Every structure is written in structure tokens, then in C-alpha cells.
Structure 1
Amino acid sequence: MKEKLWIQIFIIYTRYMIGGAFVFASLIKIKGKRFTSLSGASEPIDTAWHFFETMYQSGLYWKFIGIGQLIAGGLLMTQRYAKLGALLNLPIITNVFIITLSYYFAYTPVVTGLMLFANILLIIWDWNELKVIINLPPIFHKKKRFEKDKTWEITGITLFLFTFIYRLLVDGYDPFFWAGVCFLVGITGLIIGLKRKRIYYPKENIS
């Protein structure tokens, strides 16, 4: 399965999406800003707001969470260090998922649950190499796969830098602008990657 082109592309862009989401969310914490504001719509929402407000008022802990998200998300987006990023991100996204289950967040647990599932999938994808952490002999693939092409590292770094700089400089962000630029960068990377595939990986399974 790891030789199939479409599966490799799916894994690559899953790393981008999870990593990008956490880098995007991390900067507001690192900047010492609130994640949300009190709506007063109902008691469950009010309780959730007080939970986040308590973390925000901690100051150092709030920024520490942001730094953790930034590091884990950034590593995922680099592709080269995505294995480490997936491991670091697992306790973070698990914690977020449990929080969304514990307080009223409408359908947010569905989103965070899918992100948790995707993160576990990334770990399973690289398990042959990661299993060394439980004292099992790792298995390294000698054949260079399309997944390892430099195009994905460059695309990931570009996405990271854009997200980091945009979120660092802009407080009142436009999510559609951010998502639109990321989409264009991602599509450009895919087009370049597929062209390089024809040149450097002509015999790789494309089914």
C-alpha cells in the first residue's frame, strides 16, 4: 500500500492539514490572546468559556500550550520530521478531543475526533520505523518513495511560514483568505510534485 501514489499523497496532505491547523491555533496563545469570548448563550457554553478563561489567565501555561502546538504542527508540515511531529501531536490532540467531549462544543467533537483518528493513522503509517520506541526492531525502506520527494518539504515549509507570519501579524484574521492561500500553495506543490514524479519516479505504482 505504501507504494501507491494516491495513498502517499493522502498522507502528505493529512500532515499539512493537521499541522497547519495547530500552527494556526498556536499563535494566538503564544501572543497571549484569548482563544474565545463569552457568548452568554447558554450555561454549557458559559462553563466552557470559564474553562478557557482560566487557562488564559494562567499566562505562562497558555503560552506553553501554544508553543507545544506550534512545534508539533511545524514538524508535521516539514514532512522530513513528520514522524516526530505525529508523536508529539498525539497527546495534544487527544487532550483537545477529551476537552470537547467534556464541555458543550456542539459538533466540535466530530472535528477533533477526526483529527485524532488522522493523527493515529499517521503513526500507523510510519509504525515500521516508530516501533523502535517500544524496543522492537525498526524496518527501514530502502526504496525511495514519492512521499520523500523534496517538493513536499518545500511546500510544507512554505505553508508553515505563511501561516506563522500571517497569524503572527494579524489578529483579526480572515479564515477564507488564509485557507485560500494555503489551498493555492498546496495545489501548486501537487502539480510540481506530479511533474517530478514522471521524471524521478517513473516506475512507482500509480494505482
Structure 2
Amino acid sequence: MQQIKDNFLAQLVIIYTRYLLGGGFVFASLIKIKGLRFTTESGENEAFGTAFHFFETMYRTGIYWQFLGWGQLIAGLLLMTQRYAKLGTVVNLPIILNVFVITISMDFNYTPVITGMMLFANLVLLVWHWNELRTLIDLPTIPDRPNRLEDQKSWEITGLVLFLYTAGYRLFTDRYDPIFWFGICALIGLGGLVFGLKLSKNKKPEV
């Protein structure tokens, strides 16, 4: 496992998995925190037990609806910081597991495919961090080697920019274009990649 964790490409995949998973939750959280419906129209008149009726019921709870939003926001932010990604991975697991079970319990069309992939990504992150998370079951931690690519400050900066952009975009707009949002995030992520790889290339190895 340590050999995989030291792999350059594997670390990049993990870094951007945190961005994607965290960004998705931040994107979905703000609408709840603002106290708005997840859908554009009321599901009040939809058949009982349908997805639209379920969302309307959660929306009508008020405090619980916003509580869900804050939970998603905190978990997403922790993941995107990179520094606190281990905690974010643990916090996010019950949230995404709950979302996945909901989507397979009702007719959400192909949504379970997306939520299933998000759950799988979270499980991959848990495995990645297991050397340190094993302390949760009273086992000694196994520290990673120092000076790893994923520990560079540049990824924290990129995560902060992605979080601020996503939160700002959702906070100040009730209508949104997911393609536009994702496109800007991709550009920010690409800029962070170029910056991070440049720092990694210029960093002198310790002797």
C-alpha cells in the first residue's frame, strides 16, 4: 500500500478526488442553507413516496433542511482543504451513504449511479488514509513518508480558491448553470495543477 501511496499519479488522483467530492457537496449545500427548494417547483402535489414529494417534505422541515446543508458544507470544506481531508473523509461517509441509500430507495432515474460513484470515491479515500485512521479502532498509526506531493501548500491554496468560488457562486445566485460552474472549477483546478507540478519540479530533494 505504501508503494501505491508514494506513486506520483496516485497522489494526484487522490488530491483531485477530494476536490470533486468536496466541491459537489459544497455546491449542493448552499441551496439548503439559504432555505430554498432543491427543485425549481414545489413537490407538494406529487404522489406520496416519490422523489419530488420527499424533497418537498425535507424542505418543509426548515431547520432540518438547513442542518443537512451545513453538514454537507462542513464535510465538503474539510475535503477541499487537503490539510483536513482525513477528517473530511470520516465526516462525509455517513452523509454520502445516507444519500446513496435514499436514491436507491426511490425512483431517482440514474442518480444512484452518481451517488454510488461518490460513495465509492469516499471509500477509496478511507482506504488511502487508513494508516492514520486506524487509531479510531485503537491501532497504532503508520506515518507516511515526509515531503509527499499531496502535502504541498499549493493544493491547500487551490482548494481554498475552489471553495470560495463554489460557495460564492451558489450563495449569490438562485439560478445556476452547472456546466459554467464546472468549467470555471476545471480552469482553477488546471491552474492549481500547473502551479503544484512546477513547485514539485523545483523543490530540491533532502539529503
Check 1:90–1:141 CA distance in 2 against 1; reply closer, same or farther (3 A cut). Answer: same
**Given the alignment of the two structures, is residue 48 of structure 1 paired with residue 44 of structure 2, yes or no?**
no
Give 1:106's aligned residue. Answer: 109
Shift of 1:141: 2.0
Give 1:5's aligned residue. Answer: 8
In the alignment, which of 62, 80, 85 is matched to residue 65 of structure 2? 62
Q: Identical aligned pairs, as a percentage?
A: 59
Between the aligned partners of 1:63 and 1:39, the Cα distance in structure 2 is: 18
Shift of 1:198: 0.7
Aligned length: 201
Equivalence map 1:1-207=2 (5 Å): 1-36=4-39, 37=41, 47-200=50-203
| Structure 2 contact 42–56 (Cα < 8 Å) conserved | no
Between the aligned partners of 2:25 and 2:19, the Cα distance in structure 1 is: 10
Between the aligned partners of 1:17 and 1:142, the Cα distance in structure 2 is: 25
Unaligned stretches of 5+ in structure 1?
none
TM-score, length-normalised on structure 1?
A: 0.93
- AA matched with 2:103: T
- AA matched with 1:9: L
Shift of 1:104: 0.3
| Structure 1 contact 79–156 (Cα < 8 Å) conserved | yes
CA offsets, 1:174-201, max 9 Å, x none?
Answer: 1121111100000000001111111116
Between the aligned partners of 2:16 and 2:204, the Cα distance in structure 1 is: 19
Unaligned stretches of 5+ in structure 2?
none
Runs of 4+ with >4 A deviation: none
Shift of 1:98: 0.3
Between the aligned partners of 2:120 and 2:152, the Cα distance in structure 1 is: 25
Higher relative contact order (CA 8 A, sep 6+): 1
TM-score, length-normalised on structure 2?
A: 0.93
Between the aligned partners of 2:58 and 2:83, the Cα distance in structure 1 is: 33
Shift of 1:164: 0.5
| Structure 2 contact 23–166 (Cα < 8 Å) conserved | yes
Between the aligned partners of 2:153 and 2:82, the Cα distance in structure 1 is: 9
Check 1:64–1:135 CA distance in 2 against 1; reply closer, same or farther (3 A cut). Answer: same
Shift of 1:202: 5.7
| Structure 1 contact 34–56 (Cα < 8 Å) conserved | yes
Shift of 1:100: 0.4
Between the aligned partners of 1:47 and 1:171, the Cα distance in structure 2 is: 24
